[in-house]
Amino acid sequence: MWLCSCAKPLTLQLQSRPPSSIHSHVRRVTVTTSTLSLRPSSTHVFTHNVHFQPKLKRASTTIRCSSALTPQLKSTLDKVITTNKVVLFMKGTKDFPQCGFSNTVVQILKSLNVPFEAIDILENDMLRQALKEYSSWPTFPQLYIEGEFFGGCDITVEAYQNGQLQELLEKAVLS
């Protein structure tokens, strides 16, 4: 098992001969059931099972870490999150959510009459990837209250049902 514990997403780039010339370069074929796990952060695990692995001459593998969260984008996210008391990064808009989870959080916030800034992450793939790093949370929607990451849909629903969300939002709006 190979592990990469860098905090950035991984880009795998496999280089080998084109299929037309692969037969002259295969020494032997090994069938394996090994697992390759890449850990870009503590909350994300990507797994790929390898079942057929030819042994190639002059084949090379390059693993490169890259980050969608540039210093400029981090600065912009910091500014948006700290200048708005409640920010929801979601799929779609307040008026037209594009997924059920985003819709659920929007409906909760609207039912509480809380003013909030909604940002559609579907419009910008780099923003979507950077937010996953920024919050260390892999899914959307992502709710921020008073500059702090609060959680996704499940956490928001649970906090709404037990009254904690209402208390927190009241304090945020009044401060």
Residue 61 lies in a domain: yes
Neighbours of 73 (CB within 10 A): 19
Using CA atoms, how far apart are residues 55 and 136, in angstroms rounded to an integer?
Answer: 37
CATH number, domain of 138, equals 3.40.30.10
Q: What is the mean pLDDT of residues 117-142?
A: 96
Same domain, 120 and 170: yes
pLDDT at 121 over 90: yes
Using CA atoms, how far apart are residues 130 and 68, in angstroms rounded to an integer?
Answer: 5
Same domain, 88 and 167: yes
Question: What is the predicted pLDDT for the residue at 74?
Answer: 95
Interval 4-35: pLDDT, tens: 434 444 333 333 344 444 344 434 433 333 33
Domain ranges, residue 89: 71-174
Residue 24 or residue 58, greater confidence? 58
Same domain, 44 and 88: no
Using CA atoms, how far apart are residues 9 and 3, in angstroms rounded to an integer?
Answer: 13
Which of 29, 50, 65 is where one domain is finished?
A: 65
Q: Into how many domains does the chain fold?
A: 2
Question: What is the predicted pLDDT for the residue at 11?
Answer: 36
Same domain, 91 and 152: yes
Instruction: Give the containing element (helix H, strand E) for 21.
Output: helix 19-22
Question: What is the predicted pLDDT for the residue at 39?
Answer: 39
Region of poorest pLDDT, from 35-39, 77-81, 113-117: 35-39
